[in-house]
């Protein structure tokens, strides 16, 4: 998990650098500071489990094993991107790794995660589906509809709210009727109230293991609220100035990476070993960046591919 934390952090920072160099166009939603959630869950899932992420999906995709070079190339809109440049930052998907997509419309993917979970039941597999989303998402109808259906159908869906205290620029408490946007509503759907430290990969991993195990063994859905913080703004254009500096400072003290580093040392892991992991990851990010930059612009013909299942876009004779 130490390695994954660094991979996610390194990827996010590099994506930011590339944006500053005007190589990443459009928008990106980084999860710097929130890496422990994707990391803890990534380690708890089987390769054939399903993940559904929001537009803030880089970390969840990488934690499921998406190739970082192909992911980076996608951010750059290159032909060698995981989606050939068609999807971009907000839509990272790698179905071969169970990463069933990143969705840019708030709430939709909670409902579709239920569908994947239901399909696992119908096909008689023990796969589970995990949906990641933010605190702001708990206020849209789809959240409530998804939880209710998951519970009454006893679906193997794990709903993971990453509560980073803000929707976009508005503090979550200004627009939410309960103090804990997810946990505070669990009872309404007959679910246990689960709140965890989203900056502690071990705590996340334990909660993930329990919830995934429950889902896999027929125990139905769970709703987990992981309290965390994004160290940057909401999206590339946002410096995050609306947040009080004391708050930003206090959370910087709780950055998951140094904390986890200290824990591993205290458990007797050697500093050298951690350093070598860091170096390997740094190299891998450089390799991914070079791979991405070396990619060609997408072929013009690809504009008209994959609209329909025959691979094309033809709609008339």
Partner 1 sequence: MAELTYREAVAYGIAQEMRRDSSLVILGEDIAAAGGVFKTTVGLLDEFGPDRVRDTPISEQAILGAAMGAAMTGVPVIAEIMFSDFLAVCWDIVANEIAKSRYMTNGQVSFPLVIRTANGGGVRFGAQHSQSVENWAMMIPGLKVVAPSTPEDVVGLMAASIRDPDPVVFFEHKALMGTKAEIPDGEIVAELGTAKVLREGTDVTIAALASMVPRTLDAAERLQQDGISADVIDVRTLVPLDTRTLLSSVEKTGRFFTVEENPRLCGWGAELVSIVAEEGFWNLDGPSIRITTPHIPLPAAASLEDLALPSVDRIYETVCKSVESGGGA
Ligand X SMILES: Cc1ncc(C[n+]2csc(CCOP(=O)(O)OP(=O)(O)O)c2C)c(N)n1
Alpha-carbon gap, residue 144 to 181, rounded angstroms: 12
Whether 117 and 157 have beta carbons less than 8 Å apart is answered as yes
Q: How many chain residues interact with partner 1 (CB under 8 A)?
A: 43
Helix or strand (DSSP H, E) at 4: helix 2-20
- Selected from 8, 149, 167, 227, the binder of partner 1 by CB under 8 A is 167
CA 199 from centre of chain? 14
- Selected from 164, 176, 222, 231, the binder of ligand X by CB under 6 A is 164
Q: Which is nearer to partner 1, 177 or 267 (CB)?
A: 177
For residue 284, give both structure tokens: 């891998």
User: Contact letters (x/-) for ligand X, 35-54, by CB under 6 A?
Assistant: -------------------x
Distances (CA, A) of 2 to 63, 87, 110: 12, 29, 28
Residue 304 binds which entry of partner 1, ligand X, none, CB below 5-8 Å type-dependent: partner 1
Alpha-carbon gap, residue 49 to 97, rounded angstroms: 8
Specify the residue for token string 């309960």: 178
Half-sphere exposure of 55 (CA within 13 A, CB side): 16
Residue 26 binds which entry of partner 1, ligand X, none, CB below 5-8 Å type-dependent: partner 1
77 binds partner 1 (CB under 8 A): yes
Q: Which is nearer to partner 1, 24 or 38 (CB)?
A: 24
- Selected from 44, 66, 167, 212, the binder of ligand X by CB under 6 A is 167
Q: Give the footprint of ligand X on residues 232-251 (CB under 6 A).
A: 234
73 binds ligand X (CB under 6 A): no
10 binds partner 1 (CB under 8 A): no
Whether 202 and 4 have beta carbons less than 8 Å apart is answered as no
298 binds partner 1 (CB under 8 A): yes
| Beta carbon of residue 236, minimum distance to ligand X (angstroms, whole number) | 13
Q: Which of 93, 94, 131 is nearest to 215 (CA)?
A: 131
233 binds partner 1 (CB under 8 A): no
Specify the residue for token string 């070598």: 276
315 binds partner 1 (CB under 8 A): yes
Interface residues with ligand X (CB under 6 A) are 54, 56, 104-106, 133-137, 162, 164, 167-168, 234
């Amino acid at each position: 998990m130490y390695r994954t934390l660094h991979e996610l952090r390194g990827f996010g920072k590099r994506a930011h650098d590339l944006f500053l160099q005007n190589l990443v166009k459009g928008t990106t939603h980084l999860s710097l500071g929130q890496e422990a959630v994707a990391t803890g869950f990534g380690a708890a899932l089987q390769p054939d489990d399903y993940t559904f992420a929001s537009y803030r999906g880089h970390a969840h995709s990488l934690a499921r094993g998406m190739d970082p070079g192909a992911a980076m190339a996608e951010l750059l809109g290159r032909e060698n991107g995981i989606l050939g440049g068609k999807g971009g930052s907000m839509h990272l998907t790698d179905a071969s790794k169970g990463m069933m997509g990143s969705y840019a419309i708030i709430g939709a993917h909670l409902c579709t995660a239920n569908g994947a979970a239901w399909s696992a039941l119908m096909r008689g597999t023990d796969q589970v589906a995990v949906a990641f989303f933010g605190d702001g998402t708990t206020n849209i109808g789809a959240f409530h509809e998804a939880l209710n259906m998951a519970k009454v159908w006893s679906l193997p869906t794990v709903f993971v709210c990453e509560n980073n205290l803000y929707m976009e620029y508005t503090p979550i408490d200004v627009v939410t009727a309960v103090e804990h946007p997810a946990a505070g509503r669990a009872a309404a759907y007959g679910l246990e109230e689960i709140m965890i430290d989203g900056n502690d990969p071990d705590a996340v991993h334990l909660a993930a293991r329990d919830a995934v195990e429950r889902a896999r063994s027929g125990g139905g859905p769970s709703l987990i609220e992981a309290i965390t913080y994004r160290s940057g703004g909401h999206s590339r254009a946002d410096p995050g100035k609306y947040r009080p500096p004391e708050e930003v400072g206090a959370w910087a003290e709780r950055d998951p990476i140094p904390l986890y580093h200290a824990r591993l040392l205290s458990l007797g892991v050697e500093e050298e070993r951690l350093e070598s992991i860091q170096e390997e990851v740094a190299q891998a990010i450089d390799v991914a960046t070079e791979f991405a930059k070396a990619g060609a612009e997408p072929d013009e013909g690809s504009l008209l591919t994959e609209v329909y299942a025959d691979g094309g876009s033809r709609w008339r004779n």
